[in-house]
Amino acid sequence: MILVGVMIATLWGIGALTGAPRQARLYMIGLLMTGVIAAHLLLPDGHPLRMATGGEAAFWLLILAGGALVWGYGRGLRMLKARAAPAEAPVPRKGFSETELTRYARHITLREIGGPGQGALRRARVLVVGAGGLGCPALTYLAASGVGTIGVIDDDAVDLSNLGRQVLFDEAQIGRPKVHAAAEKLRAQNPHVEIRPYARRLTSEIAQELFSDYDLILDGTDNFATREVVNAAAVATGKPLVAAALTQWEGQISLYDLARGTPCWACVFPQRPDASLIPSCAEAGVVSPLPGIIGAMMAAEAVKRIAGAGETLAGRLMIFDVLYADSRTIAVRPRAGCAVCGGRGLEAGAARP
């Protein structure tokens, strides 16, 4: 027994002096113990080697079994600790990945956007109200531009009659909620952005709470009632609003940003026109490319507003006539008697240098 103990201590000491790994030293001791047990099993009783190493194999088998139990217990304990330890929170990524740099290279090259502007786009949260003719191109270019979080709210389902102008959808998606069909396409288009679909109608009861989660609102709806809800919530939450509308061959768009001295949407459109003067697209028709043109302009206004690039349509209403290839811009100002904002933009405009 003493001889075996000395041999074990010698192997361990030599391994430590030579810098051998702990696992290698244990392996050598295991080989020694296997040789000792084999000698006890193979050599006859009374053999000097057996007598010098304890006389019976049972003792060493018990030692070996005890060591295995201790090792197994320690390993199991370490595994339990590893499973119980809280997972480390992922470290927020400050820079762009190589894939993102390649994807957004044309943006980053632009002097007016660059890296800082693209970073602002990635941090931005934009809500699109309506996933129809205007919402589809706006959503497409917001995702392509790298806007980090994009919400879309609509209670409608994809219909065959939508496919002539709402190019984000296809026939396989007919009958599906528009927001989920759109989210599927947008995630496939750019997996680096977060898409939040809300399959419900926007009402005054939920609008302010929903808008508070976003930095910028895009209104692509097709009726005055919802536009009024959108504008009221944008004014109440202080969110800038890109609003557009279209009919037949003509579209209009503006950025309503009270903090920068602009009117709100209700300042420009204080009363609903007679229903006979604003027929729906189903009644009056709309040329297919027009929603794409105006919807893309909405996304461009959002990108400029977020990145601080160029001059936006704040304080100006652009009207685009695709039939006669003509566009005109009208200056719009806050209205002191506005029932929604009370002309708040007048004070903000006066305060700006």
pLDDT tens digits in sequence order for the chain, 353 residues long:
566 666 666 755 666 666 656 666 666 666 667 766 666 666 676 666 666 666 666 666 677 677 777 667 766 666 555 444 333 433 345 678 899 999 999 999 999 999 999 999 999 999 999 999 999 999 999 999 999 999 999 999 999 999 999 999 999 999 999 999 999 999 999 999 999 999 999 999 999 999 999 999 999 998 999 999 999 999 999 999 999 999 899 999 999 999 999 999 999 999 887 766 666 666 678 899 999 999 999 999 999 999 999 999 999 999 999 999 999 999 999 998 899 998 876 666 545 54
Strands 149-153 and 194-198, bridge-based pairing: parallel
In the chain, residues under CATH classification 3.40.50.720 are 112-351
* pTM confidence score: 0.71
Joined tokens for residue 264? 């709100």
Query: Alpha carbon 334 to chain centroid distance?
Result: 35
Strands 241-247 and 250-256, bridge-based pairing: antiparallel
Region class of 57: left (phi > 0), else alpha (psi between -120 and 50), else beta: alpha
What is the homologous superfamily of the domain 112-351 according to CATH? NAD(P)-binding Rossmann-like Domain (3.40.50.720)
Region class of 274: left (phi > 0), else alpha (psi between -120 and 50), else beta: beta
The whole-angstrom separation of Cα 136 and Cα 149 is 16
